[in-house]
Chains A and B, each alone.
Chain A
Amino acid sequence: MREPTLFELSSPGRTGVTFPQADVPLFDLPDASLLREDLPLPELAEVDVVRHYMALSKYNYSVDGGFYPLGSCTMKYNPKINEDTCRLPGFVFTHPLQPIETAQGNLLLMYQMQEWLKEISGFAAVTLQPAAGAHGEFTGVLMMRAYHQARKDHKRVKMLIPDAAHGTNPASAGMMGFEVVTIPSDERGNVDLKALAAQCDDTVVGMMLTNPNTLGLFDENLQEVVRLVRDCGGLMYADGANLNALLGIVRPGDLGFDVMHFNLHKTFAVPHGGGGPGSGPVGVSERLADFLPTPLVGILEEANEDVPPLYGFITPPQSIGRMKAFHGHFGGGVVRAYTYIAMHGAEGLKDVSQYAVLNANYLKARLQKTYKVPFDRICMHEFVMEGRFEGTDIRALDISKRLMDYGYHPPTNYFPLIVHEALMIEPTETENKDTLDSFADALLKIAEEAHSNPQIIKTAPHNTPFGRMDEVKAARELVLCCWLPEDYDTSQ
C-alpha cells in the first residue's frame, strides 16, 4: 500500500503545537503580502507526522538492515561508537569562527587526521576540506591544472582515463575543461600499455587511475603505467574510492601517484548517502603540496616544556583557494573516521583490507562456476560477473530485482561497461561467512530459476513494498517540477 503524502493526510485546522498567549508586544510584518493564505501547507498533529516518516523509513533498505554488496561503494557496517564520538559536546558545540585558542581539541584532531591519512597513503600532505569523493576529485584536478600553469606549461589539455575507471573520473576532468581520452583495458583487465603509450605526449595533464579498478583488479603493470605518464610530464591521479583493498598493504604515494582522494564514507566507515554527509580528503605528493586548498591545519607555535603546541590554520604558498566554507565535514566525516582509525590501529586496518579481499574472493569462488567471471584473476575487494545465462533472456537487471525478493540490496549493475550485463559485487570485510553463504545461495538459486521459472525473475521483485518500477517511462517522461497537490493524480 502506498503511504499517502503529508498533503493528502492534511486536514484543515489540525495542529501539532498550540502556541501560548503572546506575552511580548506584537508587530505586524512590514510586507503583509508575504503571508499567503493560498499556500497549501499540510496541517497535521505530531503523531501523524512521526507515523508518516516512520512508514516511509520502512520502505528503505540500509546496511543496518541487511547485506549491501554494492560494488565500488564499500557499504561496510558503520560502527556505532563513531556516532557517540561525533556527538561529544566538545565537537558539537564548537563554532568554526571561534578563536583557535578555544578550539585546540578540534584542531588537534584534524591535524592528527591529516598525519594519519599521510601515513596510510604515503603522501606528503593532506587537506580535509572536500565535501565528498567527486568534490575531492575536482580538488585534485584543480591542483593538477595549477601545477602545469605554474610551470607555464599551457598546452596540456588531455586527461587519460582507463575504461575501467570510476565514472566520476571523466566527469571531474570534463568539468575542468580537459579533453578526456579513454584508454582501453587489455585482455587481463590491465591498462593497455600500447594504447597508453600512443597517447603519452606533451599535451597530457595526467592520468586518473582507479586501482584496483572497477573490475576489482590491481593493475599488474602499474609501475610501467606510472613511468609512461610521468615520462611525458603528466601527473598521476589515484581514485581512492577503492582504497579498502589496500590499507596497510601498499601506499599510493609510494607507487608514484601525485594525488588521491579518500572517501571517508567508504573506507573509513562514515555513513553513506542519506546517512552522510560524505567527506573526501585529498592527499598529494611533494610537488603538489604547495597548491593544496586553504586552510590546512598546522602547528603555529611549537610546544615547549610548559605549554603544548598551538594548532591553527595555515595557507599553502600557491593554494588553489577554498573548496568549501569552513573546514570540510568535520563532525559528520572527520571525527567518525578518526574514531574508526583509532579503534583499528595500524594492524587492524591491514586486517580490514585483507578480510575485504578474502571475502570478495570467497564469493567469487562460490559463484564463478555458475556466473561467468571475465578477467578471471585473484580479485581484490570486489569482482565483476556477468548477469546472463546461455539460452535465457534473463539480464543483470532481472537478477538484481530478484535478489531483492531474497532480502538483499542488489549489487552495482551495468558497470563497468566493458563487461556484458555486469554485476559488480563488493562484500566488504564486515560480513561474516554465514551472510556470504546465504547471499551466494540466493544467487545460485536465481540461476536455477532462470531455467526453471524465468517468469518469476522477469517480474521480480514480489516481496517488496512496490513491484518493478518502469524505469524507461521514468527516464523518458521526466517530471522535474512540482505541481500543486490538487494536480497530482492520487487515484492510484
Chain B
Amino acid sequence: MSLSPSNLQYAKTDEWLDPATGKIGISDYAQEQLSDIVFMEITVSVGDTVSAGDVIASVESVKAASEVLAPASGKVVAVNEDLTGAPETINGEPYTSWFIQLEGATSADLMDAAAYEAYCQERSH
C-alpha cells in the first residue's frame, strides 16, 4: 500500500479530506479493496450543503458497489466531472482523484496519516 499523504485527514469509512482545499476523495486502501473501478457517480451538485456521513457518490468495481460518504460538512463548490468519465484514475491516483470540493469544511473524528495507516494495517489481518 502506498504511503498516505500527511497533509490529508482520513475517515473511518476510508475517505480523505484535504483541509487546505476542502477536496474529498477515497483512500488507496479503499481503491485496493474495491479493485478495478468501472463506474462512479457523484450524487451531489454544486450549491448543495452536505453533512459529515452523507452519501456524496457511489463507486462500482468488478467486485462491489460502495457508497462514498462525506468526511466533513460544508457547501459543495465544485464537482469533479472528469472523474465520472475515467473512473479508473481513482485506482491509479487515489490521492489526486478528488470527487467534490467543500467550502468551509468542518469535521470531527478524522484521523491523521499515521493513525489511518495503523487502522488499515489492523484491518488487513
Contact = CB atoms under 8 A, between A and B. Distances in A.
Interface of A: 395, 397, 413-414, 417, 420, 471-472, 475-476
A35 to B, nearest CB: 42
B89 to A, nearest CB: 12
Given A414-B63, A414-B64, A417-B64, A472 B124 contact: no
Contact of A476 (B33, B63, B66, B88): B88
Interface string B69-89: 000000000000000000010
B62 interface: yes
Nearest to B36: A472
| Size bin of chain B's contact surface | 10 to 19
B57 interface: no
Contact of A472 (B33, B38, B64, B66): B38
Contacts of B39: 475-476
B90 to A, nearest CB: 13
Contact of A475 (B62, B66, B124): B62
Interface of B: 33, 35-36, 38-39, 60, 62-64, 66, 88, 124
Best-surrounded residue of B36, B60, B62 (most CB of chain A within 10 A)? B62
A286 B8 CA distance: 55
A477 B9 CA distance: 34
B64 A471 contact: no
A420 B124 contact: yes
Contacts of A397: 63
Nearest to A414: B63
Contacts of B38: 472, 475-476
B92 to A, nearest CB: 13
Nearest to B60: A475
Contacts of B124: 420
Contacts of A417: 64, 66
13 contacts: A395-B35, A397-B63, A413-B63, A414-B63, A417-B64, A417-B66, A420-B33, A420-B124, A475-B38, A475-B39, A475-B62, A476-B38, A476-B88
Contacts of A475: 36, 38-39, 60, 62
A414 B33 CA distance: 10
